[in-house]
Amino acid sequence: MIYLTLSILTSVAIVFIFKFYPKFEIDTFQAIVFNYYVCVTCGWIMLGDFPVEADVHEKFWFPYALVLGAIFISTFNFVALTVQKFGITVGAVMQKMSLLLSVGWAIVVYSEGLGLMKGIGLIAAIGAIILTNLKEEAPKDQAVNLSTFDYIFPALVLIGSGVIEILLFEVEQKASQSGDIRFISTLFGTAGVMGGLVLLFQFITGKAKWKWQNLWGGVVLGVVNFFCVVYLMKTLGYGWDASIILPINNVAIIGLSALIAYFFLKEKLSALNWGGVFLAGLSILLIAFA
C-alpha cells in the first residue's frame, strides 16, 4: 500500500509540474528530454554504478525498453500539451482513462477474475472519468486558442498511457522485475537518446535555444518521474491483479488531481465534476474490497 500511495502521489505531482511550465517559461520538450537523463542519473546513484550495462542488448526486456522509451517521450509530450491546452483535470483524466486498455488486457490475456463488485467498481471508475472530464463551458481564452487538431492530443494520451501500462505489466509478469533499476534506467536512457537527437537537431538548426530554466524543469520532473515508475513497478510486483491495482491507481490520481486543482489552482468544478470525484472514491473502495 505504501508503494501504491507513492505511485499515486508522484503521478499527481507530474501533472502539476507540467501545469507550471508555462508560468516559468520552460520549454516542455527540452525539459522532458533533460528529465530522462536525470532519471538515468537517479538510477546510477541508487545502484552505485552506471545502470545501463554493456550487455544490455542481451536482456530479454531490452526490446521492451526500446519501445517504452519511444512511447514514454511521445506520451509525455502529449500529456504536457493536453494539460496546457485543456486544463489539469482533463490531462489527468485522459492519462488515466488508460485503465480501459490495461485492465481489459489483464482480464482477457491473463484471465484475471471479474467479479460483481470489481465489475461495478470498474463501471464506477468509467463514470468518474466521464463526469470529471465534463465541463459546463470551456474558458473563453481556451476556446479561442483551441483548434480542431488539438483534440487529438487527449486521445494520444489515452492510447500511449495504456500501452505503457500494458508493457510494464508484461515485463513484470515475465521476469518479476519488481522495480528493477537497470530496466527502468535503460528505458529512460532510450527515451533520452531519442529525444536528445531531436533536440540536438533543433539546436543546430536554430529552432531551439538554451535556457537554464529548461534544465531545472527537467531536473524536477526527472526525479519525480523516476520514482513514479519505480513505485508502479514495485506495486505490480506484489502479486495483486493488475485489474485491481491499475484502476485504484488511476482513479485515485483523477480524484486527487481534481481536488488539488480546485482548492489550490481555483479550477472550477461543476456538480457533475463533483459527482465524478465521488464516483472515483466509490470505485476505489469497491475494487479494493473485491
- Cell output for 160: 500511449
* Interior/surface letters 9-39, b for 16+ CB within 10 angstroms, e for the rest: bbbbbbbbbbbebeeeebbbbbbbbbbbbbb
pLDDT of residue 178: 55
Better-scored residue on pLDDT, 53 or 35: 35
Confidence check: pLDDT of 114 > 80: no
Reported as type and span, the H/E element at residue 36 is helix 28-47
Confidence check: pLDDT of 144 > 70: no
Judge whether 36 and 222 are in contact, CB under 8 Å: yes
* Range(s) of the domain holding residue 261: 2-289
Q: pLDDT band at 271, cuts 50/70/90?
A: confident
**Nearest-angstrom CA–CA distance, 188 and 35:** 9
What one-character DSSP code corresponds to residue 243? H
Q: Which of 76, 108, 82 is nearest to 94 (CA)?
A: 82
Give the distance, in angstroms, between the CA of residue 277 and the centroid of all CA atoms in the same chain.
Answer: 19
Confidence check: pLDDT of 136 > 70: no
What is the dihedral sign for C-alpha 210, 211, 215, 221? negative
Kindly report the length of the chain: 290
**Nearest-angstrom CA–CA distance, 31 and 170:** 29
pLDDT of residue 43: 94
Q: What is the mean pLDDT of residues 49-57?
A: 86
Q: Could you give the number of structural domains in the chain?
A: 1
Q: What is the mean pLDDT of residues 235-263?
A: 82
Better-scored residue on pLDDT, 216 or 242: 216
Find cell 488539438 and name the residue.
150
pTM: 0.81
Residue type, 269: L
pLDDT of residue 142: 47
- Cell output for 196: 536528445
pLDDT tens-digit readout, 28-38: 889 999 999 99
